[in-house]
Chains A and B, each alone.
Chain A
Amino acid sequence: MSRRCLITLWAPLFLITRHSCDGGGDYGLNMTSTVPNTLTFLFGFFLLFVNASQPLAQEANNNAAAKPVKEIRIGYLRAYEPQLALSVLDIPPRDEGVAGADVAIKDNNTTGKFLGQQFLLETRETKFDEDVVPAFKEMVAKGSRLILTDISAKQLLSVADLAKESGVLLFNVGATDDALREEECRSNIFHTAPTRSMLADGLAQYLVWKQWRKWVLLYGSHERDKLYAEAIRRAAARFGATIVEEREYEDRGTARRTDSGVVLVQQQMPVFTQNLPEHEVVIVADESEVFGSYVPYRTWTPRPVAGTSGLVASSWHPASEQWGGVQIQNRFAKTTGRRMLSKDMQAWTAVRIIGEAATRSQSAEPKDMETYIKSDQFSIAAFKGQKLSFRNWNWQLRQPILVGDGHSVVSTSPQAGFLHQTSELDTLGVDRPESKCQLN
């Protein structure tokens, strides 16, 4: 790079050296130099050689230093409360998701140093059912116009239109609700979290590929358990599996871990799964963690368990090492001291999408980034063996779904043989012809 602009490095030389810079017209100064151009040029160089110290000269050599650094603020709005789980291993880490965003910010800044872009992350926490509007407004007032959200669907919808008015782009990294991509879809929300239907389809494709087509569905009594169960029913119908019987497990508030150990729920499981018609797999729909983890090894008949426990479909797996995965896993573990979970990957991907858009559009403006992300040129690499892109009818990130148990990745969907006319990734979740989304 032979072009060297010294303006930003050496303010006193501003007037004399400006002529040695090209493209310097955007500095907002009306130049009326009385020194002829060539002389100015030579004088500038003379001063440079005489005075420039070694580090200064090196900095001038680096083409990034010649560019003014543009700050790109990314907000992270999250609802957090300590949660219970049936197994202590399943308690979400304090920084779940945020840690992924942090690692991606570092990645973006490594790239940004070559382009004069600096990324910052600002995190705000609220409670599960709290009004998020005040926190959101504060973040916008502080200058965040790109905001990742890990909040409930209801909370997200409460700020969606407000975001649009303020020119804010939202990246949903937490909510798996299909409704956010269907009847409640928005043109300013990008979803890196997969939907329940994508997860259920990923799991169903694997089970059907295994020829395990007769399922029993056990679901919890909370709303999100029922939504997951609905996604399973849809997947069964789509891929030719049969749900031979369904049973609901009602949460009576007596479950979970206690000092004496939760024997009660565990002991109920054999009886709860007694007298079922012939089946090959037990599917559990218990996002609320009331009984699901107690189903494996406790069923009346010996059957594999899948769904929210046993064999689980997810956007990432802490043991995924394929497709360069070792690199991100190492980087994440080194930075955070723990393994990378799905929500970490969803947040990492969202921040990387912003970074990629800033790099490719050479802009720090959300408007320019939005144009790039919504264009056909956009794609992002996220260690899943192929490029990921957005469905342009609801701005859901299309992505492979990993199917694994607590220990390792068992398979990755879409499975071989599930074909699609445009992208096989669109065999997962609600496809364009069925979509209820109408973007405005």
Chain B
Amino acid sequence: MRQHMCLLAATAALPFLVQPGWANMVYVSNEKGNSVTVVDSKTMEVVKTIDVGQRPRGITISPDGKTVYVCASDDDTVEMIDTASGEVVGSLPSGPDPELFVLSPDGKRLYIANEDDNLVTVIDLESKSVLAEIPVGVEPEGMGVSPDGKTIVNTSETTNMAHFIDASTHEITDNVLVDSRPRFAEFKPDGSEVWVSAEIGGTVSVIDNKTRAITKKITFEIQGLRAEQIQPVGVAITSDGKKAYVALGPANRVAVVNTETYEVEKYILVGQRVWQLGFTPDGKSVISTNGLSNDITFIDTQTDEPIKSVTVGQLPWGVTVAPN
């Protein structure tokens, strides 16, 4: 805490500027630290720590880069951080225990998974009001949205399903059974597939967005590690759709998957309990949050080698990077 205070004091004296084009701010939610750490993507150094509500987990940024949204799970709210001032400026009604959310591509709506109440809450960001509450399976967590904004996918961890929701009617259209404890849903940039990770099942299911059927199940194998230690959580797919990165939790590694062959091409050792992933806007780096080692790792997407690990707050959970 003292360290945080020093950082705050140091940064307060400096003008807090985001210069587009050469550096982007990386925002990391620290689940146990009740804070968001801001890291400069170019220098890969911490520039600021922002105190937020209790148990911050899901984190995302508006397309214009002006607002960061953070789920303060234990405060039953979503907080908004103004990126210019680096301060919490307001909150949104989120429903109880928001864990993870996704922003519609136009930045107008927020789709939130309410873990304790088996609901997905739809928030209109302009009016800051709840548009709909959609009952889903037990312990909703992963949230994905198709690039055209028409389809939302929610995963429920105890029901073990990916629920496909029509974004215009807010009705569930399909339920796809996946493996145990699905944590995350990520659309391919062309919208053709949804990748759903299953933490306890140890797999990633690839679901065809047209037929809503599983077309491929990706499994992971790491020499010297027991199968139970490999627990896929976060998934990130490159903007050209060619490579997918999968965070493998207590396996302490990020898997690199070829999206054409669905083969794992590499395992990158990062930090302990790798949770979520985020790209820099230029696509040159992917950043992993390593919960138990209290750091994030920058990975070079050309070489798929880790470049640097940066200590953030306690139990880093989610990550989002400001757009250019």
Interface residues of A (CB under 8 A from B): 1, 58, 61-64, 107, 110-111, 113-115, 324, 327, 330-331, 334, 352, 356, 359-360, 379-381, 385-387, 423-424
The answer for the CA separation of A371 and B317 in the assembled complex, in Å, is 39
A110 and B171 in contact, given A324-B181, A379-B201 (Cβ under 8 angstroms)? no
Measured between beta carbons, the chain B residues less than 8 angstroms from A330 are 97, 116
A381 and B158 in contact, given A110-B137, A360-B177 (Cβ under 8 angstroms)? yes
The answer for the CA separation of A331 and B158 in the assembled complex, in Å, is 12
* Interface flag for B180 (CB, 8 Å): yes
Judging by beta carbons under 8 Å apart, are A359 and B177 in contact?
A: yes
* B181 nearest CB neighbor, chain A only: A381
* Interface flag for B259 (CB, 8 Å): no
Judging by beta carbons under 8 Å apart, are B115 and A327 in contact?
A: yes
Among B160, B174, B180, contact of A63 (Cβ-Cβ < 8 Å): B174
Among B161, B174, B180, contact of A381 (Cβ-Cβ < 8 Å): B180
A1 and B173 in contact, given A324-B139, A331-B116 (Cβ under 8 angstroms)? yes
* Interface flag for B2 (CB, 8 Å): no
* Interface flag for B226 (CB, 8 Å): yes
Among B135, B138, B163, B226, contact of A107 (Cβ-Cβ < 8 Å): B138
The answer for the CA separation of A314 and B160 in the assembled complex, in Å, is 27
* Interface flag for B175 (CB, 8 Å): yes
The answer for the CA separation of A69 and B229 in the assembled complex, in Å, is 38
Judging by beta carbons under 8 Å apart, are B174 and A1 in contact?
A: yes
User: What's the minimum C-beta distance from B138 to chain A, rounded to whole angstroms?
Assistant: 5
Judging by beta carbons under 8 Å apart, are B180 and A387 in contact?
A: yes
Judging by beta carbons under 8 Å apart, are B137 and A387 in contact?
A: no
Judging by beta carbons under 8 Å apart, are B159 and A111 in contact?
A: yes
* Interface flag for B172 (CB, 8 Å): yes
Measured between beta carbons, the chain A residues less than 8 angstroms from B201 are 379, 387
A387 and B200 in contact, given A110-B137, A114-B175, A359-B177 (Cβ under 8 angstroms)? yes
Judging by beta carbons under 8 Å apart, are A110 and B118 in contact?
A: yes
In the A-B complex, list the 6 residue pairs whose CB atoms are closest, starting with the nearest: A386-B228, A111-B159, A381-B200, A114-B175, A381-B180, A107-B138
Q: Which of B159, B201, B202, B212 has the most CB of A within 10 A?
A: B159
Measured between beta carbons, the chain B residues less than 8 angstroms from A58 are 171
Among A1, A110, A334, A379, contact of B138 (Cβ-Cβ < 8 Å): A110
Other 17 A-B pairs with CB < 8 A, given A379-B200, A381-B200:
A58-B171, A63-B175, A110-B135, A110-B138, A111-B137, A113-B135, A114-B159, A114-B161, A114-B163, A330-B116, A359-B159, A379-B180, A379-B201, A381-B180, A385-B250, A387-B180, A387-B201
Interface residues of B in 183-241 (CB under 8 A from A): 200-202, 212, 226, 228
User: What's the minimum C-beta distance from B167 to chain A, rounded to whole angstroms?
Assistant: 14
* A111 nearest CB neighbor, chain B only: B159
Measured between beta carbons, the chain B residues less than 8 angstroms from A63 are 172-175
* Interface flag for B79 (CB, 8 Å): no
Among A61, A111, A331, A379, contact of B161 (Cβ-Cβ < 8 Å): A111
Measured between beta carbons, the chain A residues less than 8 angstroms from B118 are 110
Can you list 13 residue pairs at the A/B interface with Cβ under 8 Å? A1-B173, A63-B175, A110-B135, A110-B159, A111-B137, A111-B158, A111-B161, A115-B175, A330-B97, A379-B180, A386-B228, A387-B200, A423-B228
Judging by beta carbons under 8 Å apart, are A324 and B157 in contact?
A: yes
Measured between beta carbons, the chain B residues less than 8 angstroms from A423 are 228
* B158 nearest CB neighbor, chain A only: A107
The answer for the CA separation of A61 and B172 in the assembled complex, in Å, is 8
A352 and B158 in contact, given A107-B138, A114-B137 (Cβ under 8 angstroms)? yes
Total count of chain B residues near the partner, CB < 8 A:
31
Judging by beta carbons under 8 Å apart, are A327 and B139 in contact?
A: yes
Interface residues of B in 32-89 (CB under 8 A from A): none
User: What's the minimum C-beta distance from A161 to chain B, rounded to whole angstroms?
Assistant: 33
The answer for the CA separation of A113 and B159 in the assembled complex, in Å, is 11
Measured between beta carbons, the chain B residues less than 8 angstroms from A387 are 180, 200-202, 228
* B175 nearest CB neighbor, chain A only: A114
A111 and B138 in contact, given A381-B181, A424-B226 (Cβ under 8 angstroms)? yes
* A419 nearest CB neighbor, chain B only: B226
Measured between beta carbons, the chain B residues less than 8 angstroms from A113 are 135
The answer for the CA separation of A330 and B181 in the assembled complex, in Å, is 18
* A400 nearest CB neighbor, chain B only: B228
The answer for the CA separation of A64 and B174 in the assembled complex, in Å, is 10
Measured between beta carbons, the chain B residues less than 8 angstroms from A107 are 138, 158-159
Judging by beta carbons under 8 Å apart, are A61 and B171 in contact?
A: yes
User: What's the minimum C-beta distance from A80 to chain B, rounded to whole angstroms?
Assistant: 28
Contact with A along B164-182 (1 / 0, CB 8 A): 0000010111110100110
The answer for the CA separation of A226 and B138 in the assembled complex, in Å, is 42
User: What's the minimum C-beta distance from B223 to chain A, rounded to whole angstroms?
Assistant: 16
User: What's the minimum C-beta distance from A389 to chain B, rounded to whole angstroms?
Assistant: 10
The answer for the CA separation of A148 and B175 in the assembled complex, in Å, is 29
Measured between beta carbons, the chain A residues less than 8 angstroms from B139 are 324, 327
User: What's the minimum C-beta distance from A362 to chain B, rounded to whole angstroms?
Assistant: 9
The answer for the CA separation of A326 and B202 in the assembled complex, in Å, is 21
Measured between beta carbons, the chain B residues less than 8 angstroms from A334 are 116
The answer for the CA separation of A327 and B226 in the assembled complex, in Å, is 26
Measured between beta carbons, the chain B residues less than 8 angstroms from A331 are 116
The answer for the CA separation of A334 and B96 in the assembled complex, in Å, is 13
Contact with A along B85-101 (1 / 0, CB 8 A): 00000000000010000
The answer for the CA separation of A334 and B181 in the assembled complex, in Å, is 22
* B174 nearest CB neighbor, chain A only: A1
The answer for the CA separation of A356 and B159 in the assembled complex, in Å, is 8
* A64 nearest CB neighbor, chain B only: B175
User: What's the minimum C-beta distance from A62 to chain B, rounded to whole angstroms?
Assistant: 7
The answer for the CA separation of A423 and B159 in the assembled complex, in Å, is 26
User: What's the minimum C-beta distance from B290 to chain A, rounded to whole angstroms?
Assistant: 17
Measured between beta carbons, the chain A residues less than 8 angstroms from B157 are 324, 327, 381
The answer for the CA separation of A62 and B139 in the assembled complex, in Å, is 20
Measured between beta carbons, the chain A residues less than 8 angstroms from B161 are 111, 114
Measured between beta carbons, the chain A residues less than 8 angstroms from B138 are 107, 110-111
Judging by beta carbons under 8 Å apart, are A386 and B200 in contact?
A: yes
Q: Which of B157, B180, B201 has the most CB of A within 10 A?
A: B180
Judging by beta carbons under 8 Å apart, are A327 and B116 in contact?
A: yes
